[in-house]
Amino acid sequence: MRISQPTVNAGQYVRGEKQPPLTYQFQDANGTGIDLSGYTAAFVVRTPAGVATTYTASVLVGTDGYVSYPWTGSEWPEPGPYTAEFWAGNGAVRLASIRIAFTVREPVGEVPPV
C-alpha cells in the first residue's frame, strides 16, 4: 500500500518575483535531518498546464538534510496553481520531499527592474 505524502501550501506568488531561496529539510521518521553528504539535489516545478521542469538545487548542510533552490523569476510562466518538490540522491538512494503547492497570479503591471 502506498501512502501519499502530505502537501504544504506555500502561499501566493506573483509572476516575475524572485523570492528568497526556498529551503527544505529532509528528515527521518524521528524528525532528525538526514545526512545528505555526497548527494545532489533538484527542484521540480509543475505548471498549471502540466509541464514539469527540473531545476538544479543545492545541498546546504550535508549532515543536516537541508536543500535549497534560489528562485530566478522565470519558474512561473503563467498564472494558476503550481506544485513542486525537492529531490535528493546519491546514485543509490533517491528521496522526494513533501509536495509544495502554491498559486501564481499576474502582476498588476510590467515587472519593474528592481
Q: CATH code at 47?
A: 2.60.40.10
Q: How far is CA 70 from CA 2, 38, 39, in A?
A: 31, 20, 18
Establish if 112 belongs to a structural domain: no
Establish if 46 belongs to a structural domain: yes
Query: pLDDT tens for residues 6-64?
Result: 788 888 999 999 889 999 999 998 889 999 999 999 999 999 999 999 999 999 987 89
Question: pLDDT at residue 4 above 70?
Answer: no
Question: How far is residue 93's CA from residue 91's CA, in Å, rounded to a whole number?
Answer: 6
Boundaries of domain holding 25: 7-105
- pLDDT at res. 5: 59
Binned at pLDDT 50, 70 and 90, residue 114 comes out as confident
26 burial via Cβ count (<10 Å: 0-12, 13-18, 19+): buried
Mean pLDDT of the 83-106 span: 95
Establish if 110 belongs to a structural domain: no
Establish if 114 belongs to a structural domain: no
Count of structural domains within the chain: 1
SS (H, E, C) the chain: CCCCCCEEEEEEEECCCCCCCEEEECECCCCCECCCCCCEEEEEEECCCCCEEEEEEEEEEHHHCEEEECCCCCCCCCCEEEEEEEEEECCCCEEECCEEEEEEECCCCCCCCC
Are the CB atoms for 87 and 105 separated by under 8 Å? no
Establish if 76 belongs to a structural domain: yes
Establish if 113 belongs to a structural domain: no
Question: pLDDT at residue 2 above 70?
Answer: no
Establish if 17 belongs to a structural domain: yes
95 or 8, greater pLDDT: 95
pTM recorded for the entire structure: 0.88
Cell 504544504 belongs to 8
Establish if 111 belongs to a structural domain: no
